[in-house]
Structure formats: structure tokens, C-alpha cells
Amino acid sequence: MGIFARLFGTKKERVRTKTVIVKATGALDSASTSQETAAYWSFASSASADEIANAEARKVLRARCRYECLNDPYAANAARNMAISVIGTGPSLQLHGINRETAEPIEKRFRYWAKHARMNEKLELAVRSLVFDGEIFFRFVTDDRITEGFNVELIDAGRVTSETFGDATDENELDGIRYDQHGNPTFYTVARHVANPMYSGLPIELERVPADEILHLFIPDLPGQHRGLPLLQSSLQTLARLKRYNDAVLEAAETAACYSVLIETENIPDGEEEGEEEGEEDETVAVSAGDSFRVPRGSATFLPRGSKSSQMKPEQPTANHGEFMSTTLTGIGAGVGQPRNIISNDSSDYNYASGRLDHQTFFRYVETIQQRLTYILDAIFDYWAEQDDDLDPAFIATIETEWYFAEMQHVDPLKEAEAAIKLVFAGLMTKKEYFAKYGQDVEQQVIQMRKEAELFGPLLKLPPTEGEEIDLSAMQKTTKFSELQNRRNAKIR
């Protein structure tokens, strides 16, 4: 073979080329498909909302989200913080369209029923269910133990299912909910218990419950969606990655801490040393790779001849471990609408302005969930009023209901009070709006303030100037206050 053939070869060699799939999509680069983007967008689908949120997918997501909420502190904190922020101490009812003398007894009776029905507890659990289940059902049931003879039961999302426990066979039914031609629910198919291995071998009974006895709460992600997806579902993979990373960091740190030393020896394994004469005693210890011996803690030990020891260097956690945790928690919190310092309960690296700014979007999100809850609360109040024989349906139709949810307390109450006073005196905020921020009824507060003014005298002028002490002499000179003090002193004597 000539030199030309040796250098360049005699046959034409094949050159491997990368196959690139490119679809013509006009001028939209993000709509084009290549080999690099095909794998990433392989799960993208143009299916409808109900096809995406099908029964099997929701079952898997509920199981995984519940697992995270039960085992991961950040997921559990996300559900707990959402419930605390939305419900707080519970919504309060105020009736409009009628005078206070008529409205107050009705409000009082409803509060009495709601207390014994444990509505605040159920509302809090309903909001938590939005995080790990994506939806919750309220059902009116008979209960003779409390007034009005009925109660509200929470139904697990898995119990509302089709009779086939999967895809429905009727086009007007979807996952246990039957709809009319206008898309309104007509009845719900409810299992008496959740289909799971705990009930294997037992027959699962189904019942059809009329739609006017069930309320469905969920937050749709897509138009035309009829069943809810967990709010935590978009953060599941990030939660799993964070847990695996933290486990790896901890394992590496423990490994470095458990091994006292690594021993490096110059002995020839499993044999005699070179140059050793026959019959000569060998003072060295023959070792093999992987041999180990225990070194007592807190002691100095002589090693075999020819051995050297070195401390294992701990490489974990790395210097950017905290930054990685912070960035990851920000992404996890974004999936449930919570800033990082809320989902982690840590504001150590926040300043006041940053904390307030991050909370604005979260509080707005909380208000949207509260707005959805008002539809549920209005329906519960209407059902309660129908069970009360003393209330005329025509009269109830004229009543307007308003629900107040207490806002989160301000970090600096003094600044908030000063701002509220300026806004009220400037006419930019009403007293009703101010009391509504704390979930209080303005009319009830005004009545209470009048009673206190009669008992303690005129209200103090606030705010006092800097360095000025509040003068209580005017209050102490009132007749009512003096009478109470005299009675108290007489009892002490």
C-alpha cells in the first residue's frame, strides 16, 4: 500500500451525522421541534383539561402529595400555612338589608350552630385538602345532636367516583359527577368509603346524592376543568430532588465523621517482603486491601510498620449548600403561591421591605381562595335558614350576607395604627374597611364602643404625642367607673 493510501485510505469512509428533526412552524422558534427539544416536550399534550386531570392521574397525584405532606416538613408547612392564612380564627357573618335588632339574633343563632358543627375546623381542613388533594366536597347530612338537625360532612375526593371506579361510560358524567345539558351538576356518585387495600374483600356501596346536598370546592387550572388537581403537584419533583440532595449531603458528612483515619501501607499484601531471608522473623504485619481494625476513640494507637494515616476530609456540606436550599425552597413555595420565608418559616435574611413585598402576592392569592369560600359559606347559610322554621323564605331572600376573614397581623402594629388613623381622617378608608381587616363587624364594634363610653367615659384621644403620657383621670372620674371601684373595694374589705 502506498503512502497516499496509508494516509488517506483507499475507500471512502462513512461519517456519522446527527439527525435533526425540524418542523416548519412559521416564524415561532418556540413552536419548532428539534432533537434537543423533542425529549423535553415529549409529555406536552393538547388534550382537554378533563383528559389531563383524569381519574388515574388525580389518584396518583393525591397519593404522592399526601405522602409529601405527611413526611416532608416543607410540604406540611405549606398546607398548614395556607389554612392558617385563609381561615385564621374563622370567618364572621354580617347580615345587611335588615335592621340590627333583627339581624343580630339571626347572626347569633347561626354562630351557635356553626360552633357546634365545628365549621371552623372543617373549613381549615378543606383548605389544607386543596394543597394535597386539590378538591373537597361538603355534604349536608342529618344530625339530631345539634340545633337545626343537620350538619356538614367533608367528603374525601377519592370517594366521589364513577360506578366503574374509572372512566365513565356516559358522556354526561365525569368521575362520579353527572351534569345536565348546561354543565350544571345534577347528582354525585359517592362511595361509602375510599376504595383502597384496607377495605379489600368488602363490597363498596355507592349512592347517588342530589347536587343540592353537596358543595364542590376546587381551584381550576384550565378552562373546562371539572375536578381539581393538588396545588402541591407542580412542586412534587422539586421536593423529591431537595430530599435526595439533603440525604446525600448528610450521608457524605456522616461518612467523613465516622471514619477516624484512612491507612496507607507500604507492605506487600499477602506475601513476604522482598529480600527477606529464609528463617528470618518478619516483624511487619501482612495486610490486604480492605482490611480494617478498630481504633479506640480518644486514644493514640501505634500502627503497623510501614503504615501511614490520614484524616478523611469532609467535603459536605458545600459552601453553596444554603444558597441551593434557598433557591429550591423559592421554587417549591411558588408552586403553592407562598414566598420562601413563609414556606420555610425563616426570615433571617429578609429585611422589612422585602418581606412585605413578597407577601403582597401571597395575600392576594389568599383573598382569591377566601372569595371562593364565600360561595360555600353562602350556600351553607341558605341551607341553614331553610331548616329554621322561624325564618320566612321570602324574608331570607331579602338578606345580604357578608363574610369577614381576619387578616394577618402587621409586623409593626404602631406603624399600622398611625397609617390607619391618617387614612380614616383623610377619607381614604372607612371604619368598616378597617374593622373588616380584623374580621370584625363594624356595627357590633360601634355598639360595643358606645357601651364602653357609657361605662368608662369619653374615649381617649389617640395617638398621644411623643413623650406624652395618657391621662386616665377623665375615665376615673366617671360615675360608672367609680361605682365599680367602690363595689370592688367593698368586696375586698
- What residue type is assigned to position 348 of the chain? S
Report how many domains make up the chain.
3
Residue-number span of the structural domain to which 18 is assigned:
3-40
Residues 370, 458, single domain; the answer is no
Residues 419, 404, single domain; the answer is no
Residue 200 is assigned to a structural domain of this protein: yes
pLDDT of residue 82: 94
DSSP label at residue 212: G
Phi and psi at residue 137, to the nearest 5°: -120, 135
CB atoms within 10 A of CB 93: 19
pLDDT of residue 40: 81
Q: What does the alpha-carbon distance between residue 395 and residue 383 come to, in Å, rounded to a whole number?
A: 14
**pLDDT tens digits, residue range 11-27?**
545 556 555 555 555 67
Q: What does the alpha-carbon distance between residue 228 and residue 54 come to, in Å, rounded to a whole number?
A: 10
Residues of the chain with pLDDT under 70: 1-26, 164-170, 193-203, 258-316, 408-413, 437-439, 457-493
Residue 268 is assigned to a structural domain of this protein: no
pLDDT of residue 278: 54
Q: What does the alpha-carbon distance between residue 412 and residue 74 come to, in Å, rounded to a whole number?
A: 27
**pLDDT tens digits, residue range 197-230?**
445 556 678 889 999 999 999 999 999 899 999 9
Pairing of strands 135-142, 92-96: unpaired
Residue 293 is assigned to a structural domain of this protein: no
Residue 421 is assigned to a structural domain of this protein: yes
Q: What does the alpha-carbon distance between residue 386 and residue 391 come to, in Å, rounded to a whole number?
A: 8
- What residue type is assigned to position 218 of the chain? F
Residues 19, 168, single domain; the answer is no
Residue 259 is assigned to a structural domain of this protein: no
Query: Which among 366, 352, 358 is positioned nearest to 326, based on CA atoms?
Result: 358
Query: Which among 162, 126, 156, 175 is positioned nearest to 62, based on CA atoms?
Result: 156
Q: What does the alpha-carbon distance between residue 266 and residue 308 come to, in Å, rounded to a whole number?
A: 9
Asked if residue 270 lies in contact with residue 334, where contact means CB atoms within 8 angstroms, the answer is: no
Q: Residue 243, class by beta-carbon neighbours within 10 Å (0-12 exposed, 13-18 middle, 19+ buried)? A: middle
Q: What does the alpha-carbon distance between residue 356 and residue 339 come to, in Å, rounded to a whole number?
A: 10
Helix (H) or strand (E) holding 324: helix 321-335
For residue 138, give the 3-state DSSP assignment.
Answer: strand
Residues 36, 66, single domain; the answer is no
Residue 161 is assigned to a structural domain of this protein: yes
CB atoms within 10 A of CB 113: 20
Alpha helices in 305-412 (DSSP H): 321-335, 340-343, 352-387, 393-396
Helix pair 100-117, 119-132: axis angle to 10 deg? 60
Rg (CA), the chain: 35
Q: What does the alpha-carbon distance between residue 134 and residue 175 come to, in Å, rounded to a whole number?
A: 14
Percent helix / strand / coil, the chain, rounded to 5: 45, 10, 40
pLDDT of residue 129: 96
Residues 152, 34, single domain; the answer is no
pLDDT of residue 217: 95
Give the distance between the most distant pair of CA atoms in the chain.
Answer: 129
For every residue of 423-444, DSSP letters joined together read HHHTTSS-HHHHHHTBT--HHH
CB atoms within 10 A of CB 239: 25
Residue 256 is assigned to a structural domain of this protein: no
Q: What does the alpha-carbon distance between residue 309 and residue 265 come to, in Å, rounded to a whole number?
A: 9
Residues 31, 172, single domain; the answer is no
Residues 384, 455, single domain; the answer is no
CB atoms within 10 A of CB 136: 24
For 90: left if phi > 0, alpha if psi spans -120 to 50, otherwise beta; the answer is: left
Asked if residue 134 lies in contact with residue 58, where contact means CB atoms within 8 angstroms, the answer is: yes
Q: Residue 485, class by beta-carbon neighbours within 10 Å (0-12 exposed, 13-18 middle, 19+ buried)? A: exposed
Query: How far from the centroid of its chain's Cα atoms is residue 173's Cα?
Result: 30
β-strand partners of 190: 160, 207
Residues 402, 452, single domain; the answer is no
Residues 35, 60, single domain; the answer is no
Residue 257 is assigned to a structural domain of this protein: no
Residues 24, 173, single domain; the answer is no
